[in-house]
Every structure is written in structure tokens, then in C-alpha cells.
Chains A and B, each alone.
Chain A
Amino acid sequence: MYEIRFHGRGGQGGRMAAEAYALAAFLEGNYAVSFPFFGAERRGAPVRAFTRVDDKKIRIKTQVYQPDYVVVLDETLIETEDVLEGLKENGMVIINTAKKPEEVRLSKPVRCATVDATSIALEILGRPITNTAILGAIAKATGKVSIESIEKAIIEKFGARLGKEAGEKNAKAARVAYEQTLVGVAQGGKAFIPRKKWLPDVNEMPIGGAIGTMQTEAGLVGIGSFIENKTGDWRTFMPIIDKEKCIGCKLCWFYCPEGCISMQDGKADVNYDYCKGCGICANECPVKAIEMKREVRA
């Protein structure tokens, strides 16, 4: 049996990728299971999905803690968390990035495959949805399933949802990614400060879960804790407002699900500490004054 852990962001299709991979493995006569872990996520939140493949029925029902492969759909995730956590020795990480494997820095030097799935998706699908392109990269990097099975699985799974043409386009994205995937070794040495989590025991847990604002060793929790828990690093695309074009209609302010648009001197202004980059504002703007630009992080 081998196990894969997918790291993505809510809305990027990590779950669909994990499921389509399971289907591809199944089409080759394997037994495969795939499942997401759902939290309170919304679009942009770090999320995980898992796939297990074996030649016999898989009975274990736990999440995957020691994966053979780690797949990262969103490059920004490798900056904020150690995606290698629990990765088996000789394991491999497959990352959506424009960098070469040797240019990627992680906590340890590990076998690494890279592909610029975002550019491939933008070019072929016209949208930065990378969950099909990345499947081609997995096929190339692992050699565990053929690209033909990946294509078949994508057409079956995505075609059923999005129509035949879209299914075939997505299969093409996987094929192009397959051809462009580079395999090498990533650099190690990147330090991560493990994020502390508030885990009170039964005596510390507020009765009935009733909670005001609490200062804990993991920082603020409860009411008002978002003063510390900024969500700007969830963003992969950032809204840029053209103040010249903005007519101050407030539609973006009205539709922003995070309430992070305010009006300054009659023009829309984004609070980038909290903006998750969902793009709803750009979609709603009647004068197209908001452009979603790919996030560039140091």
C-alpha cells in the first residue's frame, strides 16, 4: 500500500484531485480510497485530502500521518507549514511551482518533483485551477499510475461534472504537466516554527464551551481572536483596485464575505491582512476596476 497526502486551499480542488487519482489507480485494477478532511474552511483556507492505494481491500479508516507522497497544490503552503511532516524516508514531494526542484527549500532535502501547474491551467483551462494538471505530475514523478489512466479518470470524473469538452481540456492539462514535470532533490534547512495549538484538558475547557476572549499559550482564542489570526496568507491571488476607475458604488464592500473592504475617500480599499483573495469583489465590480493578480511572496 502507498499513501498520498494532498495539501491545497479551499476551492482549489484538492479533494477532486485526490479522488481522481484514486479512480485512476482503480482503473488499473487496484483498490483505492480517497477522502478529505473538512474543517471550518472556506475558500482559501489550508485543507488536506488523502488517497490510499493497494492491491487488496483497504480497511484502515484513519487519516494519513506517514505518507509516501506529499502533493502540494499551492506553493504558498510550503512557506507557512512543514508539508514534509511525517513523510516516509525515501518519500517524495510533488509541488506546483515554477521553480526547479533544486530551487525549492523545505525542512529537509527530499526527492522532489515540480511543475508549474498554475501556468498550465491558466493557459489550457483559462482558470488557475490546478487539480488536474498536478495529477499528470504525480503520474510522472511516482510512476505508480500511467498518464493514460490519469487522463481516463479525469475525463470520467471531471467530464461528468463539467461536460465532455471541459473533461478533455483537463486531461490535456494533465498530459502537458506530465511532460513538463521535473524530478530532482529539494534543498533542506528551512526552519518552521511549529504553530502552537490551544488544547485545553477537561479541567481547563470552559464549561459548556462558552468562551469570551481568552489569552492562551497559543495566542488569543474565542471572540476577537482574529486580531491575531490574520488570513491574508491564505491568498494566492490579490485584488488590486484601480482607484481611477473605481466609482465608489460599494458593491465590492457589500459582497466581500470577509468584510475586509472599506471605503477611503469614496473609493474601495482592501485590508490585505485579512483578504483571502476569493475574487468576488473583482467579479462584482461593474466597471472592472479590480484586477486579481497572482500573489508574489518573498
Chain B
Amino acid sequence: MIQKLPAKKMVITGDYAAAYGALLCDVDVVAAYPITPQTLIVEEFSNFVNDGITDAEFIMVESEHSAMSACIAAQAAGARTYTATASQGLALMHEMLFIASALRLPIVMPVVNRTVAAPIGIWCEHNDSMPQRDTGWIQMSCEDNQEVLDMIIMAYKIGEHKDVLLPVMPCLDAFILSHTVEPVDAPSSDEVAEFIGKYKPHAVLDPDNPMAIGTFTPPEYIQELRYQTHVAMEKAKNVIKEVTKEFASKFGRDYHGLIEEYRCDDAEVVLITVGTVTGTAREVVDDLRQKGKKVGLIKLRFYRPFPAEEIRKIAENVDAIGVYDRAISYGSGGPLFIETRHALYGLDVPVLNFLAGLGGRDVVTGDVEKMYEILLKAKEKKPEKEIYWIGTRGVSI
């Protein structure tokens, strides 16, 4: 239970927004293990507990692996749970992520995207969350702190939906959001409670009604369970669209479902962006539009489930598509690039990959302009290569 919280405008960090979002959702159990740049999230939440704003169980665990284990156990006992992590911490959690999704436990866990060592860095890179692609978690990226808070709220509603029952991982870029303050509108706790409703688990561990979950299961059964989870992830697409629509009508902020199109209507070339680069890219698009260039932007919100149909629909009407990635799958390409090309199979449109901002390097407007420049050239003449390492010393583009 939480105290009644009025709607208010705050100037807060992305980490605070993530913690406050969980507070508004009246979570029952929070497992906490610190890692920069996530630490503030669980620290802020511990303050809420300390101040008596919530009576949530705050469990300090000895590792991220234990944090996810604690959430899994609590969620299986019927609690609404929450934790947060980043980078190496997420990597350590990896094996437990599969368990959370396969047991169909809609845990919500923000991930503050931080580079995974080596070498050690604390800044933004997506090579922590993207390798979690196949763990069965819904995964999405935020553009600003408002979206972080709103997404935590929507994450519970999406994950707990009876057709979905999957854990959700909202991602926010290290420092660029996590430690940056900006104005955020927070709804009241009553409004949030009404919006997300009560958590209705599909099965609860209860000594009075014994139940076995995650037990030894022979090959006769596991394939059907895998299919169920796949179908749930597919169904999540519609649920995400419905929930964002409902959120927009209730709170006045529209996130447009799986992707947001920005000035794509008559665009000749379109760039797909993820995370905070989206905001910078909007500026570049406006600037180029003013100069008469027909350029557009797709803000990719969800990596899983992947909005293949939505992207394909736009791609059918453009001359070139670019995909921005802040992670690299060595020997292939950026994860979003690989995914996008798969979605566009059979379409005769050049798909180019732009890698920038790895290890937390700032992605500046000039970098994004370069991406559009290459795309506009690709519209005229078939490009010689597909993958461009923007701003990498000694690598020509």
C-alpha cells in the first residue's frame, strides 16, 4: 500500500522517474543491488520505504542474480515486483531472465543502458540489454524522463495483461537520462491505480493449494510451452498499442504504440533510431526539412516484440532506410539492423546501418546529419557498403 500521492510536476532524473513510477504502481516487493548508473533508482525507492510512503518489502540482496531470483519468487507468490539493473549486473542476471519469462511472471525491471566491460566504462551503450533479446522479456527504449515514468506504469499494465503475462524491461540511456534532470509530469496515485488495476496472477504459490512451477519437464511438454510464450509475445503487440492508446486518452501523452513515426508522410529516406538519439535526430530532421530534404524518422520503441509490420509498411514507400545502432553483433552488424533487414525481406529498398555512440561517445547532430547524407546518396546510387561506423577514427565512411 502507498500513501495517496497527488499529481505533480517535478524536475527529476531518469532514475528518479523510474523509482517514482514504481512507487505509483504500488509495487509489493523491490529487490535491490546497486550498480552505476542504476543505483539511484533503488536508492530513491529505499527512501520512499524509509519515509513510510510505501510499505513495500525492500530486499537488499547479494547480487543481481539474487535480485532477479527474489523477484521471481515473490512474483510467483502473487506479489507485484520491481528491480533495476545495468550492464554487468544484467549480464549476471541473464539465466534468471529466462526463468521469469517462462514462468510467465510480469516483473518490471528498468535497465539503465551502460557499456558492458571490457574495457570498463560506465557510459551509454546498448550491448547490455540487446543480448537479452531471446530471454522472453518485452524490451523497449525511452527517449526522455517523461517516457521513463510513463513506461514503468504502462509496463505493468502490458506485462500483467492476461494475453501477455511476460516481464518487461524498459531501457533508459546511462547518464543521458539516468542522471539528467528535466521536467516530468507525474499522475496521481489514484489515477495510476485505476489505470493499471490489480495484478491477477495466473498461478500463485500457496501452501494451502500446492502448486508446482518450473519443475523438471520432459520433451513432451516444453515445446508447447515455448509456443505459448511466443504467442504471448506476438499478442503483446496489440496490447501495447491498446495500452498506449488508453494511456494517451487518460493522461494526454501519446506514445503511438510500438513505433512513432516522425515526419515520415512524404519522406524519401527514413532513419530508425532508438533511445535518446531520437530526440537529437528530431532536431536534425526539422533542420533538413527546412532545407527542403524529404527526410523522416522512425522512433523504435520496442525491440521485443519487434514491430516488423509497422516498419515494413513505411519502408514500402521510401527509397532508403537507415538503422541506428548503439551496439554491434561482431561479425554481422547492429542488432536493430539485422532485425530490420529481416523484417524488410523481399523489399527492394537499400537498408543501411549506422553505428555511433558506442562506449557512451556523444552522438551529436553532425553525426545524425552524416547518416541522412549517406541515406540521401543511397537514394540516388546503390551504396557500396551497408555498415557505417560513424565518427570512428581511421575508418572511412
Could you tell me which A residues sit within 8 Å of B by CB distance?
39-40, 197, 199-202, 205-213, 222-224
Contact = CB atoms under 8 A, between A and B. Distances in A.
Given A197-B220, A202-B224, A202-B228, A208 B103 contact: yes
Interface stretch (B57-65, B211-219, B278-286): B211-219
B102 A223 contact: no
Contacts of A205: 221, 224-225, 228
Minimum-distance CB pairs A-B, first 4: A210-B203, A208-B104, A210-B213, A207-B202
Given A211-B213, A212-B211, A224-B210, 8 more contacts: A200-B221, A202-B228, A205-B225, A205-B228, A207-B104, A208-B104, A212-B212, A223-B211
Nearest to A212: B211
A211 B216 CA distance: 12
Given A205-B224, A210-B103, A210-B203, A40 B165 contact: no
Nearest to B217: A209
B164 to A, nearest CB: 11
B227 interface: yes
A208 B220 contact: no
Contacts of A212: 203, 209-212
Contacts of A213: 210
A213 B211 CA distance: 8
Contacts, number: 62
Contact of A211 (B105, B211, B228): B211
A201 B228 CA distance: 10
Contacts of A207: 104, 165, 202-203, 228
Interface of B: 102-105, 165, 202-203, 209-218, 220-221, 224-225, 227-228, 231
A200 B224 contact: yes
Contacts of A201: 224
5 contacts: A202-B231, A207-B104, A209-B215, A210-B213, A223-B211
A209 B218 contact: no
Nearest to B205: A210
Nearest to A209: B225
Nearest to B211: A212
Contacts of B210: 212-213, 223-224
Given A39-B218, A224-B210, A206 B203 contact: yes
A199 B219 CA distance: 11
A292 to B, nearest CB: 28
Most buried by B among A206, A209, A222: A209
Most buried by A among B165, B212, B216: B212
Contact of A209 (B209, B213, B227, B231): B213
Contacts of A211: 211-213, 215
Nearest to B228: A202
A209 B221 contact: yes
Contacts of B212: 210-212, 222-223
A211 to B, nearest CB: 5
